[in-house]
Structure 1
């Protein structure tokens, strides 16, 4: 576990720290090629192996699991405390959404579970990867993707990610053979190169068994044209960082590091990927990793230089956790200092109180040297004093409604079909909001725009979740806007901000509370006035009714996403938020095919996504 740092420097005037340690440089080669091809939906509604035993024995993110025999469960939680009291709800619900150009339902649990003939696991949460450009919209979630035109017509999909990246099925239900574990997709369309970039974390198995080998890597898919339905090149970047396969040795306990929670950004010269580095086979956090990769080489399908900055290096004064790289709006990049990429991170999770008033501004400069002298790239970090934010302190209540999975567990004749003892839950079950890690970062109109979840006081005096937002001058550290978007009667969670070249932005999020089923929401964002009223792009049709948080299945934490997404295409902002698109009764749930409610959900969950277009 990284030592918690004292942040006295945060009270100082804007100061930047450069580091003496040299980055690691190496090269990755183009490997296989792929074309996204729709895989057939099918398979048995429910099997004896719905969940990947290597990844779901207990609750990884809450640290409650102790594994299934020798198989590892990653402890990816470093949150220290939950005690904050930000302002009460300060936003209004808008009565109309004049900017909403339209929207459509994206991928859902049914697509995920039954893609590739049903040779998939039930996965929760989905995690949202969205990118748009050149008349296309591409959505990736755990563990499928789909490609649409900008009218919402599905062109390809669902495509399971194992097939897309050229691997065997996640689980071959005919032979029992396992394919690699793929998770955490992110996507980016680069307007300058007119290429699509998609990244996932891939964790290798021991042969075709369920056991994890220890090696893991980032799969990077790069389209060969501006059309994402065509061919893609695949690069593999090893991230176990134990001295094997050309990686540096970061000394992770158990012998293998894990490149968790990868996210993508870009400047004019490089693609940036960041990970949270944990021990794979033991507890321990080792600092975020920042990878800069030649964008020109990736776009050309050529060998690509890589520069790795280790956020766990002792010379770095910031607690490097979820250092999120900025995506560009319409090809706008920072050109100073030979090309600069900006990144943001937060630090409240490192404090016992769970409270902080500091975020960290990172920059990697001289990116123009990535092709000729990669060791010439330089990393800097600066503390910024902001409005207090805190790790949200409670789960989100839901509006009561149909919860057939919960009801099935409470009904012995139905629970026996699931293969578990019956258990009675209160209704409705609560769901988890995000912690206070930084979420999506955008560079637009010469400014940095970012969001994170924060604890807020609701109108009844209880704690809930709101969204803290930042609009920053990255050259001076001056905050143009910084505030908290919240409602007095509902939680807002997993915010993601995207901004046009002219500086008009939108924050996407989920709205959920005692009077709200999980719904897709958004608010405007401006550098002068901050966030606007809360709009509902698509109201939820019923409560979340998923398997995480059930002791027999997903451990102790009822998961609801890991991140949302918002992207710009011209003057349109595309949003992708997790929400609930269906509702059904226990009788409908038990009707053949079991658990599918007419093809609207899977037996173990009912999450869905909503893709919305906002005109600015």
Structure 2
């Protein structure tokens, strides 16, 4: 899940260096063992209930929500980020004429996999988000709400596996009985080269029985592989994150009694696995700051019954720094920061906190003394400091697309088509529909070659003077807070969005993103990335085949934002970088869309969307 945020801080100042809040110790709850098995693909092409009523992210102006495909959303995540007049300059990049670094790639999970996994006992989910991790000859890809495991050649070994089944829960929706299983979202994955174990996390919202209503409790499910082979057994742990005093959690006083551990992400140092969340009220308005959880890596790998957990509430007033999407760093080669008894670094941005939506600061966080997490967990400490960078801004506009066949849109526009096949009135859209770019939250962070590497989306001015999206990138010295390199990657005629990066231990990396614009269908792109030369030219790893054609942004379907993603993913393995980007892999005409089996275009899409993912291998 992803929120849109506005917190006015005009009267607040932040310390250059501030000590964090007092840690709180928790205990994990060990659950069952799971083994990933492919679930059958099938089910009705369209049903009367396509969206999870609790997760359909509606806004105040998104319609009345009283439709058959989804209901009025229960989870309140509709805060809005700042607005601004745009930046004055465009980042520098050109389109590369060749892509010599690209070795190969393959189509990963797509909307058809997601919707029709587990016999079709799934909801339609958009956007997919992206979890990718790589190691020991395997690739694990996870999106909302399915998982697949591949070998290095792209052969699918297991999948699609719906995440409800993987975590041992009933189906998201049992279309025979009408019973609901827990609502799962926001998968992330990490392969730890040091321990040769896989870690996979999701946010799980519990139901009130088997009804669609949420009970209020929510937790992070943490799956830890028992060997270096992800196709084998995994141990499941649960970390309650409702933070209202129940289940051993602290009470953060969230509106209506329950907090929400939104947008979880994963990182690690030598001693601990780090999970971070954005804490919102679950049933009412309010943002309560990012949460940072440190969990004993040794205990997770050993399968201990109750590994130690240390929680830092970065939203505590004592922190005196804006804490939103505080992303923990990962290390690809088992090289970690050993200073101060073991240290994990994290990065965050703050433009979303300001009315003008711009900033020239990112925030460097560190959790030290991690080697004591088993013996003296209260000795872990949190520090944060401001890092001055080039100005970045929350992107202000939607991304236009190259025209092309978009059968869901065309069915809505064609007299009689939508009422007959979809059960909705006709709507005529401009051609083509635009899609949403990211805000300026921090994306994936790497610790490599003694440096911190990160990216975020930023507003840029395109060549025609209009606003667009580019990728701001940073290379930070975590010891001093100095900036080794910093810049903006952008094209004059297209948006680059959902930029994420991975970096080898020698300090060579790749930024991956989606390229979309008036001359581009959504395509999987990348650029080289290092501390000396910054970001290189834009390459296309896989060109889009058609426009995005999804249900978000359509009235009656519960969300007025035409959603494209929440985050991308990339992973370093030796001198190889693997990227996973959202793109459109297949074209489909309206005639093909209405050919039985309806809406599936030969198994390439579903009734309500056509997103796909591209996994690419780049040799450095």
Q: Which TM-score band applies after superposition, normalised by the shorter structure?
A: over 0.9
Does residue 517 (structure 1) correspond to residue 518 (structure 2)? The answer is no
Does residue 596 (structure 1) correspond to residue 597 (structure 2)? The answer is no
Secondary structure at the residue paired with 1:315?
Answer: helix
For residues 618 and 340 of structure 2, what CA distance do their matches in structure 1 show?
34
Counting only pairs closer than 5 Å after superposition, residues 310-325 of structure 1 correspond to structure 2 as 310-325=313-328
TM-aligned CA distance change 1:406 to 1:82, over 3 Å: farther
CA contact (8 A) 2:151 2:157 kept: yes
Counting only pairs closer than 5 Å after superposition, residues 220-231 of structure 1 correspond to structure 2 as 220-231=222-233
Question: Residue 375 of structure 1 is aligned with which of 374, 378, 399?
Answer: 378
CA contact (8 A) 1:58 1:73 kept: no
1:77-116 deviation per Cα after TM superposition (whole angstroms, max 9, x unaligned): 3412243214224101001111111000000000000000
Does residue 550 (structure 1) correspond to residue 550 (structure 2)? The answer is no
For residues 293 and 74 of structure 1, what CA distance do their matches in structure 2 show?
29
For residues 171 and 535 of structure 1, what CA distance do their matches in structure 2 show?
40
For residues 350 and 558 of structure 1, what CA distance do their matches in structure 2 show?
23
Aligned to 1:284: 286
Aligned to 1:18: 19
For residues 135 and 70 of structure 1, what CA distance do their matches in structure 2 show?
44
Secondary structure at the residue paired with 1:94?
Answer: coil
Aligned to 2:41: 41
For residues 429 and 264 of structure 1, what CA distance do their matches in structure 2 show?
34
TM-aligned CA distance change 1:142 to 1:489, over 3 Å: same
Does residue 418 (structure 1) correspond to residue 422 (structure 2)? The answer is yes
Aligned to 2:3: none
TM-aligned CA distance change 1:375 to 1:464, over 3 Å: same
Secondary structure at the residue paired with 2:318?
Answer: coil
Secondary structure at the residue paired with 1:555?
Answer: coil
**1:73 CA drift (Å):** 3.1
1:205-239 deviation per Cα after TM superposition (whole angstroms, max 9, x unaligned): 11111111110000000000000000000000000
TM-aligned CA distance change 1:109 to 1:128, over 3 Å: same
For residues 330 and 604 of structure 1, what CA distance do their matches in structure 2 show?
40
CA contact (8 A) 1:392 1:456 kept: yes
Question: Residue 501 of structure 1 is aligned with which of 499, 502, 505?
Answer: 505
For residues 36 and 408 of structure 1, what CA distance do their matches in structure 2 show?
37
Aligned to 1:258: 260
Secondary structure at the residue paired with 2:299?
Answer: helix
Aligned to 2:396: 393
Question: Residue 608 of structure 1 is aligned with which of 612, 617, 620?
Answer: 612
Aligned to 1:135: 137
Does residue 407 (structure 1) correspond to residue 410 (structure 2)? The answer is yes
TM-aligned CA distance change 1:63 to 1:508, over 3 Å: farther
TM-aligned CA distance change 1:496 to 1:290, over 3 Å: same
**1:16 CA drift (Å):** 2.6
Aligned to 1:210: 212
**1:9 CA drift (Å):** 5.4
Does residue 4 (structure 1) correspond to residue 20 (structure 2)? The answer is no
Aligned to 1:200: 202
Secondary structure at the residue paired with 2:444?
Answer: strand
Does residue 534 (structure 1) correspond to residue 538 (structure 2)? The answer is yes
1:171-227 deviation per Cα after TM superposition (whole angstroms, max 9, x unaligned): 000001110100000000000111000000000111111111110000000000000
Does residue 586 (structure 1) correspond to residue 590 (structure 2)? The answer is yes
Secondary structure at the residue paired with 1:90?
Answer: coil
Secondary structure at the residue paired with 2:487?
Answer: strand
Question: Residue 341 of structure 1 is aligned with which of 316, 340, 344?
Answer: 344
Deviates more, 1:473-482 or 1:87-96: 87-96
CA contact (8 A) 1:498 1:568 kept: yes
CA contact (8 A) 2:65 2:557 kept: no
For residues 133 and 57 of structure 2, what CA distance do their matches in structure 1 show?
32
Structure 1, unmatched stretches of 5+, are none
For residues 333 and 79 of structure 2, what CA distance do their matches in structure 1 show?
35
1:519-551 deviation per Cα after TM superposition (whole angstroms, max 9, x unaligned): 000000010111000000000000000000001
**1:26 CA drift (Å):** 1.5
**1:63 CA drift (Å):** 8.1
1:233-269 deviation per Cα after TM superposition (whole angstroms, max 9, x unaligned): 0000000000001000000001100000000000000
For residues 613 and 259 of structure 1, what CA distance do their matches in structure 2 show?
33
Deviates more, 1:436-445 or 1:406-415: 406-415
TM-aligned CA distance change 1:337 to 1:5, over 3 Å: farther
For residues 291 and 601 of structure 1, what CA distance do their matches in structure 2 show?
37
Pairwise CA RMSD: 1.5
CA contact (8 A) 1:542 1:582 kept: yes
CA contact (8 A) 2:494 2:516 kept: yes
For residues 459 and 252 of structure 2, what CA distance do their matches in structure 1 show?
34
1:369-406 deviation per Cα after TM superposition (whole angstroms, max 9, x unaligned): 10001010000000011000000010000000001000
Does residue 447 (structure 1) correspond to residue 448 (structure 2)? The answer is no
Deviates more, 1:24-33 or 1:193-202: 24-33
Structure 2, unmatched stretches of 5+, are 1-5
For residues 567 and 406 of structure 2, what CA distance do their matches in structure 1 show?
24
For residues 473 and 141 of structure 1, what CA distance do their matches in structure 2 show?
32
For residues 483 and 499 of structure 1, what CA distance do their matches in structure 2 show?
17
**1:554 CA drift (Å):** 3.8
Counting only pairs closer than 5 Å after superposition, residues 157-236 of structure 1 correspond to structure 2 as 157-236=159-238
**1:317 CA drift (Å):** 1.4
1:41-98 deviation per Cα after TM superposition (whole angstroms, max 9, x unaligned): 0001111111111221624xx8857766886132253412243214224101001111
TM-aligned CA distance change 1:57 to 1:369, over 3 Å: closer
**1:366 CA drift (Å):** 0.3
CA contact (8 A) 1:472 1:480 kept: yes
1:507-530 deviation per Cα after TM superposition (whole angstroms, max 9, x unaligned): 000000000000000000010111
Tell me the number of residue pairs that the alignment of Structure 1 and Structure 2 aligns. Answer: 609
Secondary structure at the residue paired with 1:297?
Answer: helix
For residues 329 and 65 of structure 1, what CA distance do their matches in structure 2 show?
45
Does residue 365 (structure 1) correspond to residue 368 (structure 2)? The answer is yes
For residues 401 and 272 of structure 2, what CA distance do their matches in structure 1 show?
42
Aligned to 1:80: 82
Counting only pairs closer than 5 Å after superposition, residues 117-128 of structure 1 correspond to structure 2 as 117-128=119-130
Does residue 436 (structure 1) correspond to residue 437 (structure 2)? The answer is no
Q: Normalising by the residue count of structure 2, what TM-score does the alignment of the two structures yield? A: 0.96
**1:413 CA drift (Å):** 2.5
Aligned to 2:31: 31
CA contact (8 A) 2:256 2:281 kept: yes
CA contact (8 A) 1:392 1:435 kept: yes
